[in-house]
Structures are given as C-alpha cells and as structure tokens.
Amino acid sequence: MAKDYYKTLDVPRNATKDEIKKAYRKLAHKHHPDKGGDEARFKELNEAYQVLADDKKRSQYDQFGRVFEGGQHQGGFEWPGGFGFDFGGSGAGFEQGRGFGEFDFSDIFEDFLGGAFGGSSRTRARERRGKDIRIDLEIPFEESILGAKKEIELSKIAKCGRCNGSGAEAGSELKTCLTCHGKGNVQKTKRTFLGSFTQVAACSDCGGSGKKAEKLCPECRGRGVHPAQERLEIFIPKSVRDGEILKITGKGEASFQGGVPGDLYINIHVLPHKIFRRHGDNIVMQMPIRLSQAILGDSVDVETIDGAIRLKIPEGTQPGNILKVRGKGAYMSSEYGRGDLFIEIKVNVPKKISRKIKESIQEWRKEGF
C-alpha cells in the first residue's frame, strides 16, 4: 500500500513548502530517538519530507504516488561545508550537495548534538559557562507581601581563592595547551543511527582557554574551581507570588578556568497564612464579630499585614458583608501603589445564653425581630 506522505507530516495536499517545513520541524523534534522518540517514526518523517520538500519529487508523487529515482542516490549525501553523513545505502534518496533543500537541518540537531554543525562560538561559550543552580525557598506570607532580606547557604563549585580562578600557582606561566594546540576546542565524532557527526567542543584539558598553567595551583589542581559552601544574602521583592522564580545573575557555579559563572534561580514557595489569603493584588480575610456588634455597631482593632488598625463596624452589619480597607493589600508598581484589604464578616451566634437574655429576645420576636 502506497505511503501517504501528506498524512505522515499531517499537512493538507495543497500545503506550501513553508508549511511542510514547519510541520516536519515540529514532528522531528518530537519523535527524534535521541529525545526519546520512535526511530521508525522519525525515519518515516525524513522520507516524507525529502519528497514533499523537493518540487520535482513532489510533482511525481502527486501524479503517480511514487518517486521514479530508484536507488540512484543511495549511499548518502555530502553536507555543504565538509560534514559527511553516511546513511548506509538505505535508499532514502538524498541528493548529493542538496540535503534537505531550503530546510536548516541544524535547527533539529543543535538541540541534541550541542551545535555539531560547526562548533560555533556560542556553543563553546556555553560549554565554558558555569552551571546554573536552582533551589526552592519557603517564605512566610507576610514576607511575600512586604519583601524581606534572607541569608541562604549554597553548596556549589566556586572560584578558587588561591589562584583567583586561573588554575595556575602564583608566578607560574601559562603555556599553550598541548591537547588543543591553543585553539581552545577539539573535534569529536559522534555516531548515531543517521551516521557520523563531527562536533567541535571546548577542550576539556584547558577548559576552552587554549592555555594551561606550567605549574598547577595545589588548591584546585589547575581547574580554577573547587567545592565550597557560600553564604549569600538575597532580597525578596515586595509582592512576590507563589511559584515565582527569582534570578540572580552570576551566583551559580563557577566555570572551569575563568569562564562565565552560571546563574542562581530561586523558586519561591509562599507558606499559607492562618488568616490572610491573596487574591490578585488584594488581600482577603474573615473576621468573626459578636451578635451585639453586628446589631449595634462597634469599633475594633484588626491585625493587618502592616500591623493593627482601628476598624469601624457599622450598625446592622450582616453576616457575609465585606468591609474594605484601602491600601492594605499587596504592592503593585510604584505608579499604582497597593491593593486593598477585604474583610468578610462572620457573626458568631452564641449556643448558650442566660434566661434574662432569652426573655429579652423573646420580646424582640414579638415585635418582629
């Protein structure tokens, strides 16, 4: 039974080349074996794309349901720029020197080969960058609204204090790395089911610097970094939300031999409060009052995030009524100030009352209360 390449790529038969390219890119990312996908499905996607992306092949396929090129291009194709891809005579039909036509195949492979297509400076810089650190931090509700200063302790790879990250003993000269011959990178070949790929990666011996100390620092043994405990003072901004992530640039792990340090990411977890809840930029709470206060009104002290305030309860306040206190909610931008505090009234009805009060209430009932 003939394969439906349009169905394979999930595009209509009148799809443009750009639509076909986008569909292939999306599905290739999803089904690539190095990302846990189905190898057979990925091969089907490649087969469908190399036909539909080529005007001549697509025309033949649309007319006859197949492409009349037999196995003339079996054995693989040459990628422009010197990268050889050997497909082992699978009959995939790639044309030499053309590959996937206009499609930038490196978009797919850069994610899982780390920039195998040329070993760009961006890739090498990323390899010399220190690792990011991600931590979770629990804070009280009050601090999430008002902000706070916290001190945390991190276990991480830090810059060596003795050599200041150079990896060299004091007075020692830096010489050309013999492993990469001063280039800072080396070529690595990776074999996949698609063939062999050449990747340019940072030299592990010199960390991509191209230089190596003649005499290594005894503290870090030439790496410029070592495990350490670091105490760090951080500032929690006002009105931070639960689940928000704070980024502190340069406070991640140090990089091997003087590269750029990583960043610190702090995932904020706001602990629930026994009274207050946040709703947008406002704070809501419930406040129980006595029956007499609801009927006659009163003036009471109420605890807010900012401390106690005096609140007036109007006469005839009903259960469920909401009293609003302006400017006692969460902080917004400096331009707009703060949200409000909303207080929901709960009227406490006593379960036991004296005979005198009961007689009085019975009189109220006679009068229609």
DSSP state of 168: B
Q: What is the pLDDT of residue 106?
A: 43
Rounded mean pLDDT, 64-82: 46
Name residues whose C-beta falls within 8 Å of residue 215's C-beta, 6 or more positions apart in sequence: 168, 169, 171, 172
Q: What is the pLDDT of residue 180?
A: 85
Phi, psi of 126 (to 5 degrees): -65, -35
Q: Residue 107: pLDDT above 60?
A: no
Residue with tokens 């005499």: 215
Note the pTM of the prediction, 2 decimals. 0.56
Q: What is the pLDDT of residue 120?
A: 44
Q: What is the pLDDT of residue 209?
A: 73
Q: What is the pLDDT confidence band of residue 84, given thresholds at 50, 70 and 90? A: very low
Rounded mean pLDDT, 33-41: 78
Tokens of 257: 């031999």
Q: Residue 338: pLDDT above 70?
A: yes
| Superfamily name and number for 5-113 | DnaJ domain (1.10.287.110)
| CA pair distance 24, 226, nearest whole angstrom | 45
Q: What is the pLDDT confidence band of residue 36, given thresholds at 50, 70 and 90? A: confident
DSSP state of 67: -
Q: What is the pLDDT of residue 248?
A: 94
Structure confidence by residue, pLDDT tens digits, 283-322? 999 999 999 999 999 999 999 999 999 999 999 999 999 9
Rounded mean pLDDT, 103-119: 44
Nearest to 98 by CA among 57, 153, 144, 139: 57
Q: What pairing do the DSSP bridges indicate for beta strands 211-213 and 225-236?
A: unpaired
Q: What is the pLDDT of residue 201?
A: 76
The dihedral of CA 66, 68, 74, 78: what is its sign?
negative
Residues paired with 186 in a beta bridge: 201
Percent of the chain with pLDDT over 90: 38
Percent of the chain with pLDDT over 70: 79
Mean pLDDT (the chain) is: 79
DSSP track, 82-139:
TEEE--TT----PPTTTTTTT--THHHHHHHHSSTTT--HHHHHHHTSPPPEEEEEEE
Q: What CATH number is given for 133-270 in this structure?
A: 2.10.230.10
Q: Hey, where are the domains in the chain?
A: 5-113, 133-270, 277-366
| Superfamily name and number for 277-366 | Urease metallochaperone UreE, N-terminal domain (2.60.260.20)
Q: How many residues appear in the chain?
A: 369
Q: Residue 123: pLDDT above 70?
A: no
